[in-house]
Amino acid sequence: MSQDQHIQQMATRQIQPIRSADGIWHNARIAPAGNPARIITDGTIVVRDGLIAWIGSEADMPAEFSHAELVRYDVGNRWITPGLIDCHTHLVYGGNRADEFAMRLAGASYEEIARSGGGIVSTVRATRLADEDTLFQQSARRLEALLAEGVTTIEIKSGYGLDLATERKMLQVARRLGRSYPVTVYTTFLGAHALPPEYQGRADDYIKLVCEEMLPALHAEGLIDAVDVFCENIGFSVAQSEQVFIAAGKLGLPVKMHADQLSNIGATQLATRFKALSVDHLEHLNEVDVIAMRKSGTVAVLLPGAYYFIRETKQPPLELLRRYRIPIAISTDSNPGTSPSTSLLLMLNMSCTLFRMTTAEALMGVTANAALALGKADCHGLLEIGRAADFVVWSVESLAELAYWSGLNPCNAIVRAGQFSFTPHRERN
Ligand code: NIG
Ligand code: FE
């Protein structure tokens, strides 16, 4: 069997034995930065020792590669993009909230459910009860669904523990997912996600616990890459959020924020003062906020799955973001309450249908701009010489199809860190 055939016949949805993807990937159309306006036709990627040794038009390939004894993979004129990046998820949690979905369909709002002791706090109960293996198994099947659509980098937040032991358990599960699957995991500490029941009426005391105990301890254990806060009427105030950002700053950790999702209480203004990597959700963002984002270099992360699932009607101000040239990322926000979704491709589709983004903006939103949102643009979201070989081969005629289909997975092959990854149903496409 030739190697070209082998791409077509790799096994079904399960973890592949580690197999090097070193070789010459030729006869491809390539969007190296996930930008359909900058493409390479008749493109070739040379993968060597897990890295991109060369990328460009086949005609320009240096002789050292054409003469080398390298395996050749004929991509069949398919498209190649960088591996996709899901830059905002709450993937690790116990249980689910299908019962609340039924309540909302019967008329209750997301805020009403939260205020009556449901919402985030009900997932906190389930997450505290789940042991680490159970949490891992429940989260792994969601991760597998994301990976099968070409995700090679993911951010995972804590925030359903709200005590030191359970926040630690969540972050350890996130790290273990990164060791067990072909994906790079960045962890975010979201201790300030909601007030745990045992701190009812004592929000300031809880913030003190977050800043003085949880954050330093989990940071010392190497479990935190960034810090997030849910700054909202039903979350934490601007003053409380500021305390968390100050504590993060003392440890040298970058910050980001759940901002302006249900109301505008000044969350983005605060986040930009701390040079936040990103502000996320943004349905209630205004022009003054956008100007501040421009100055601080903060990325806008839009989450159409949450907008859709809680039947929000206020749209994030896309025109303002465009006018001030704010990089826009798109993510699943995968979580049990507002976005029980494990399809990043569906988010591309929704960002276009619901927010009127272009298909090109949507693709940038899960590649180059998602890397920026993580503060990791130097290692993800772009295919260039010297970087790890993280890319996806798509069986599509045009890149617009990545946002066009819903339910069809046109992913043909996934290479992550120079290894073949998880590749679904290749015989058919
Ligand atoms: O991103 N808004 C706060 N956090 C999550 C929802 C969490 C939940 O409801 O469980 C979000 O929408
Ligand atoms: Fe979120």
In this predicted model, what pLDDT tens digit does every residue of 72-83 receive, in sequence order?
999 999 999 999
Percent of the chain at pLDDT exceeding 70: 94
Quick one: pLDDT at residue 374? 98
- pLDDT above 70 for 14: no
Quick one: pLDDT at residue 2? 42
pLDDT tens-place string over residues 164-199: 999 999 999 999 999 999 999 999 999 999 999 999
Burial category of 78 from C-beta neighbours within 10 Å (exposed 0-12, middle 13-18, buried 19 and up): buried
User: How far apart are the CA of 229 and the centre of ligand 2, in A?
Assistant: 10
Q: Mutate which of 103, 193, 262, 308 to test ligand 1's pocket (most atoms within 8 Å of Cβ)? A: 193
Q: For residues 2-13, give the mean pLDDT.
A: 38
Give the CA dihedral 331, 333, 334, 337, nearest 10 degrees: -150
User: How far apart are the CA of 301 and the centre of ligand 2, in A?
Assistant: 10
User: How far apart are the CA of 335 and the centre of ligand 1, in A?
Assistant: 7
> Residue 260: CB within 6 Å of ligand 1?
no
Quick one: pLDDT at residue 423? 62
Q: What is the pTM of this model?
A: 0.94
Quick one: pLDDT at residue 429? 41
With cut-offs at 50, 70 and 90, classify the pLDDT of residue 66.
Answer: confident
CA angle 313, 319, 321 (to 5 degrees): 100
> Residue 305: CB within 6 Å of ligand 1?
no
Ligand 1 atom nearest to 281, measured from its CA? 1
> Residue 302: CB within 6 Å of ligand 1?
no
pLDDT tens-place string over residues 134-159: 999 999 999 999 999 999 999 999 99
> For residues 115 and 126, what is the distance between their CA atoms, to the nearest angstrom?
18
Round the average pLDDT of the chain to a whole number and report it: 94
pLDDT tens-place string over residues 357-368: 999 999 999 999
Q: Cβ(130)–Cβ(173) under 8 Å?
A: no
Ligand 1 atom nearest to 261, measured from its CA? 2
Residue with CA nearest ligand 1 atom 11:
338
Percent of the chain at pLDDT exceeding 90: 91
Reading the block at residue 219, the tokens are 């940071």
Q: Cβ(331)–Cβ(347) under 8 Å?
A: yes
- pLDDT above 80 for 10: no
Ligand 1 atom nearest to 119, measured from its CA? 9
> Residue 338: CB within 6 Å of ligand 1?
yes
> For residues 158 and 173, what is the distance between their CA atoms, to the nearest angstrom?
10
Written as one string, the DSSP assignment of 233-265 is TTSB-HHHHHHHHHHHHHTT--EEEEESSS--S
Q: Is the dihedral of CA 50, 55, 57, 61 positive or negative?
A: negative
- pLDDT above 70 for 12: no
Reading the block at residue 403, the tokens are 């946002």
CA 192 centroid distance within chain = 20
Q: For residues 76-94, give the mean pLDDT.
A: 98
Ligand 1 atom nearest to 120, measured from its CA? 10
Q: Cβ(17)–Cβ(44) under 8 Å?
A: no
Quick one: pLDDT at residue 17? 63
- pLDDT above 60 for 204: yes
User: How far apart are the CA of 166 and the centre of ligand 2, in A?
Assistant: 18
- pLDDT above 60 for 271: yes
> Residue 230: CB within 6 Å of ligand 1?
yes
With cut-offs at 50, 70 and 90, classify the pLDDT of residue 9.
Answer: very low
User: How far apart are the CA of 41 and the centre of ligand 2, in A?
Assistant: 37
Q: For residues 381-397, give the mean pLDDT.
A: 97
With cut-offs at 50, 70 and 90, classify the pLDDT of residue 350.
Answer: very high
Q: For residues 369-385, give the mean pLDDT.
A: 97
pLDDT tens-place string over residues 401-416: 999 999 999 999 999 9
The Cα diameter of the chain in Å comes to 71
> For residues 40 and 215, what is the distance between their CA atoms, to the nearest angstrom?
45
pLDDT tens-place string over residues 319-349: 999 999 999 999 999 999 999 999 999 999 9
Ligand 1 atom nearest to 335, measured from its CA? 10
> Residue 312: CB within 6 Å of ligand 1?
no
